[in-house]
Each structure stands twice: as C-alpha cells, then as structure tokens.
Amino acid sequence: MHDLISLADCTREQILGLLDSAADLKQRLKKGDRPPLLAGKTLAMIFEKPSLRTRVTFETGMFQLGGRALMIHSEHERLGTRESIPDVAHNLERWVDGIMARTFSHQAVVDLAEHASIPVINGLTDELHPCQILADALTLREHLGGLDGIKLAWLGDGNNVCSSWCNFAARVPIHLTVCTPPGYEVAAVPFERAQREGEGTVTATHDIAEALEGADAIYTDTWASMGQEEEAAERRRIFAPYQVNEAAMAMAKPDALFMHCLPAHRNEEVTNAVIDGPRSVVYDQAENRLHAQKAVMAALMGDGTNEG
C-alpha cells in the first residue's frame, strides 16, 4: 500500500492486517506503551470541511506515534483554488512524510495521490470515507468476536460512508443490506463491485423490515450531509420512515448493535433512546478512529517495523 484512497484498492489481507495492527496499538496504548513508529515524521492535514473526530484523531495519533501533524489548509478555501493540486503535492512531498485530506471533491484526493510521491490518506470525500469503516470494522470485531458472516443493515441515505461499506464488503465476507428511500440509493459503482467481487451477500431494498431482519448491527448517518443543507427539510420528510428508533431496533436481532459515524442529528435519523441506549456503540466507533488511523499511518509512513 502506498496510499489509502479507497478500500476497493486494498486486498482482504491488507484490510485485516490494518485491523490487527489497530487492535494491537489500542491494547499497547492502554498499557501505556506508545511505540515511536513515526518518530520525527510529519503529516500534513488538509481540511475543506469542519471536523472533530478526523482532526483530533489524526493529530493525536501522530503525537502518540512520535511524530507531529500540521494543519495547512482550512475549510475557507477549496484545494486547488490558490494553486494547482499538482503544485501542492510537489511542494508537500519535499517537506512532509504524508498527507491526509478531507475534501468535498473525491477527485481532489485522487489527484493529490497521483502527483505526490509521499502517501496520501483519504480523511473523507463526498464519495468515500475509508478510515471510518476501518474504525467501524474494528468496533464490530470487538463486540461480535469476528466479521465473517455478520449481517450489517444500512438504513437511510446511500452516502459516502455507505459506499465505503460496499467497498469493504467487496473484500471481507460480510452480509450487507442497504435500505434507502427510492432515489437515494448508494452509488452504483461500489454497490455493483461488492455484488460482483464480494464473498458475502450485498443487497439493496426499500423495505425496512426486510433489511433489518436478522441484522447483527444497524448503521445510519445524517440524512443531509455537508453541502446538502438546502435539501435538509425535504430530506427530513422523505427519510422520516427510515428513522432508527426502538421499533426499528426490535426488527433486528435482540442484541443488535446501533452504529453511527457521528455527528448525529438526534431525534431525526436516530432517537435519543437508541443512540444513548445500551446497544449503541457510537463512542466506541469514535474511539477506534484513533487506533485505526494510527494503523494506517504506521503502515503507509513507517519503516515496516513494530518497535517494542
């Protein structure tokens, strides 16, 4: 692996290796062990969108691995506006050891990776969010004991997180059901790839009860993503039947987990009773962003050793 732009670019072995590394780094941190795998190295962080989890976990992760992170771009200016993306890439590769970019345009991150000789990590684009799925998969593995054969039900908008789950399902044999309102389906390319290449099953439906039956976990996200604020009122009306509430949770397995990548619009896509309930693992997911991203940075920017 040179970059992490999409999980579709990874093999099953690479994905599982990252999860193993994340779990190891998490346990070592709890014991007070912070291996300096990235000592003296620097990560440049580019943000076009507001961020809590992405910024704090990448910055903290670099610190814990012995390196440092620099915020070099803000949401006030799109990447490629002040100077071309190739020029940005060629400058940064002379100074830092890796780039993390959180952008609107997916192509902007692709272009960064194409022109930079150093690793580029997709911190989120309008199309994909691979780091989130690694954290989610780590969370599922911790709570369910494994990943093979689990059923994950996606309920809501077929957005960038959902697309990344399809890419994950193309590599790791899970059963993924995507349930959206008509017209809000997940992007065709990752969905069809998962159906074509996945060892599990990947299905789409508009029927909530069908999607949730036998689910080990129910996942939802905000109904209007950043940049879709003008659609929010209309989306609330359309998506209202797809809210994850206690009735929806009762359609899944009795011990089914509730998942959300956050931030959540409480009492819209999920009720307070569910997100604050005993089956919610949303803060475990948030915590695991730190460990999953440390594994990614160590794999891409490290020297291949696992000191200590």
68 and 147 fall within a common domain: no
How many separate domains does the chain show?
A: 2
Residue 46 has pLDDT above 50, yes or no: yes
Q: What is the pLDDT of residue 77?
A: 78
Residue 272 belongs to domain with CATH number: 3.40.50.1370
Cα angle 171-147-286, degrees, rounded to a multiple of 5: 95
Confidence of residue 67 (pLDDT cuts 50, 70, 90): very high
Residues 11 and 140 in one domain: no
Q: Are residue 115 and residue 201 in the same domain, yes or no? A: no
- Within a domain: residue 224? yes
Q: Is the pLDDT of residue 20 over 90?
A: yes
For residue 189, being part of any structural domain is answered with yes
pLDDT at position 229 is 75
Q: Judge whether 185 lies within some domain.
A: yes
pLDDT of residue 306: 47
pLDDT tier for residue 109 given thresholds of 50, 70 and 90? very high
State how far Cα 105 lies from the chain centre.
16
Query: 16: how many CB neighbours lie within 10 A of its CB?
Result: 16
Instruction: Judge whether 1 lies within some domain.
Output: no
Mean pLDDT (whole number) for 162-174: 98
DSSP string, 163-209: HHHHHHHTTS--EEEEE--TT-PPPHHHHHHHHHH-SSEEEEES-HH
119 plus 136 within the same structural domain: no
In this structure, the answer to whether residues 111 and 234 fall within a common structural domain is no
**Same domain flag for 158 and 273:** yes
Instruction: Establish if 273 belongs to a structural domain.
Output: yes
Domain that holds residue 242: 132-285
**Are residues 98 and 122 located together in one domain of the fold?**
yes
**Is the domain of 170 the same as that of 207?**
yes
Report whether the peptide linkage leading into residue 263 is cis, meaning its omega lies within 30 degrees of zero: yes
- pLDDT at position 75 is 60
d(CA 100, CA 263): 20
Q: Give yes or no: residues 204 and 240 share one domain.
A: yes
Q: How confident is the model at residue 204 (pLDDT cuts 50, 70, 90)?
A: very high
Mind listing the pLDDT tens digit for each residue in 115-167? Answer: 999 999 999 999 999 999 999 999 999 999 999 999 999 999 999 999 999 99
Q: Is 250 exposed, middle or buried (0-12, 13-18, 19+ CB in 10 A)?
A: exposed
pLDDT tens sequence across 76-104: 678 888 899 999 999 999 999 999 999 99
82 within a domain of the structure (yes/no): yes
My answer on whether 281 and 160 are in the same domain is yes
Average pLDDT over residues 176-183: 98
Contact between residue 136 and residue 285 where contact means Cβ atoms under 8 Å apart = yes
The answer to the question of residue 272 being in a domain is yes
pLDDT of residue 231: 84
Q: Is the pLDDT of residue 305 over 60?
A: no
- pLDDT for res 308: 41
163 Cβ neighbours under 8 A, 6+ residues apart: 127, 128, 186, 187, 190, 191
Kindly state whether residues 119 and 233 are assigned to the same domain. no
Just list the catalytic residues: 102, 129, 132, 221, 261, 289
Report the percentage of the chain scoring pLDDT > 90.
90
**Range of weakest confidence among 77-81, 190-194, 281-285, 297-301:** 77-81
List CB contacts of 91: < 8 A, sequence separation 6 or more.
Answer: none
pLDDT at 225: 75
Same domain, 124 and 207: no
pLDDT digits (tens, 9 = 90+) for 241-276: 999 999 999 999 999 999 999 999 999 999 999 999
Instruction: State pTM to two decimals.
Output: 0.96
